[in-house]
Amino acid sequence: MAARVDAVFADYAGDDGPGCSVGVIRDGRLNHATGYGSANLEYGVPNGPATIYRIASVSKQFTAGAIALLALRGEVELDAPVQRYIPEFPDYPDPPTVRHLIHHTSGVRDYIVLFSLAGNRSEDFITDRDILDAITRQRELNFPPGSEYLYSNSGYVLLGEIVARVSGQSLREFARAEFFDPLGMPHTHFHDDHNEVVPNRATGYSPTDDGFRINMTTLDVVGDGAIYTSVEEWAAWDRNLTEGTVGGPEWVVLMHERGVLTSGDTIPYAFGLSRGEHRGLATVGHSGSWVGYRTGMSRYPDAGYSFVALCNRSRIDPMSLIATTAEIYLEDAMHPPEDIAEGEAEETADEDAPEAPPDHDIPNRARYAGSFYSPELDATYRIMEEDAAGLTLHVGRRDPVTLAVESDGLLAIEGGRIFRFSGRVDGRYEAMMVDAGRVKNLRFARTQEQGIRP
């Protein structure tokens, strides 16, 4: 078995590159654990079962677990509006509830996208206070609460803030006292100070043309991410998700309770956990991705197995790697892999064909050029005419990007960001609306830049 797992991770096993730590858990106990690649390329430190990683969004289940504890104790009402616990939260006509935040059905705009739209970079220093300020500036939701599922990191920052305000402890302190100390996880913590020394930490890296670059973060934000842990300590948390040593059986049931939309449809997302299926076996899992870290966990509760991969290299897919690892251990209990029909394979090949290049030759450029301000972002977008590049967008600290035309009044940039213009006066558009995945209908108005903060 170990040799077959080694083969799955062979591409990341060299000591000249970052890799992963991998754990196989059976009935709540670590059955197999090992490391591949380097935790630190500068000193040649290898990854291993005790290596500490930032696990990104896999952290969400700890925040949801804290809310679940408070709910079972009667200190938080899941169907209460968010504003009950965070009074400065916007007073929307149809208010999102705590439960909506948990299941990503609140419609609250994602702060990572908001800060990117405002011209910030992933390495820029951002605090919980900055994020709360950004969330309270919003005057619109992406959709009516409960009507849709759309992943939002903002929801989990708000949940972490609710834990702090209700308990009187920071989320880090609450999680340590309620989870990590009782479960015997001394090195696991919510990392709320990027300057803090973390013994045995893996550095995050991203590949370059000639090797790797360090890719870490100054983000001092908890709730949606920021847990540091190891494969060794993960086994205790995995065991609690079955046994409820902390929280009891009611907590275990609540953690696995899936969200329900106003349409009556049930979604896969539960309390920081997503329920699914893999070749006939029920799964419960989550992935994480932030700067140079990629992480994933997947539980097969009916089979009594769990798998976790914590990696310090971007451009790696830990969920795929642990799915393949699960097939090694559980192949006798799984349905046979589905064969892909010849016609389906051809269709997939067509879908992978390169797309037509974007059209940067934009007619009537002067209609779009100028400055547009969004009070919700507190940011100004400057659209400038360029002789060779058509129109370029300048915002904050980000490098200028070239706009492409979709149709008259509709521009786009790479990555799917859409700019919809309206209200022409004297031949120029006076209003702009931006859609960017987890942020919809963000409004801008043309402005004369005097008095407007960039």
pLDDT of the residue at 363: 87
**DSSP-H helix ranges across 41-84:** 60-72
Model confidence over 422-447: pLDDT tens digits? 999 999 999 999 999 999 999 999 99
Residue 449: the pLDDT is: 60
Greatest Cα pair distance, the chain, in angstroms, is 72
- What band does 128 get if pLDDT is binned at 50, 70 and 90? confident
pLDDT of residue 448: 80
What is the pTM assigned to this prediction?
0.92
Indicate if the pLDDT at residue 348 is higher than 50. Answer: no
Residue 351 has pLDDT above 70, yes or no: no
Model confidence at 389, in pLDDT bands (50, 70, 90)? low
For residue 127, the cross-strand partners are 220
Closest among 62, 24, 49 to 297, alpha carbons compared: 24
Q: What is the pLDDT of residues 151-192, one digit of tens each?
A: 999 999 999 999 999 999 999 999 999 999 999 999 999 999
User: Is pLDDT above 90 for 350?
Assistant: no
pLDDT band for 121, please (50, 70, 90 cuts).
confident
pLDDT exceeds 50 at position 67: yes
Q: What is the mean pLDDT of residues 407-418?
A: 89
Average pLDDT, the chain: 93
Alpha-helical segments (H) within 331-394: 342-351
- Inter-helix orientation angle 248-255/231-243, to 10°: 110
Position 356 scores a pLDDT of: 59
Q: What is the dihedral of CA 73, 77, 79, 85, to 10 degrees?
A: -140
pLDDT mean over 122-148: 91
User: CB neighbours (10 Å) of residue 75?
Assistant: 13
% of residues, the chain, pLDDT over 90:
85
Express each pLDDT in 211-221 by its tens digit.
Answer: 999 999 998 99
pLDDT tens-digit profile of 210-256? Answer: 999 999 999 899 999 999 999 999 999 999 999 999 999 999 999 99
- The pLDDT assigned to 16 comes to 96
Query: Would you say 8 and 319 are in contact if contact means Cβ atoms under 8 Å apart?
Result: no
Per-residue pLDDT at 108 exceeds 60 = yes
Question: Judging by beta carbons within 10 Å of its beta carbon (0-12, 13-18, 19+), is residue 281 exposed, middle or buried?
Answer: middle
- Measured from the Cβ of residue 407, the count of other Cβ atoms closer than 10 Å reads 7
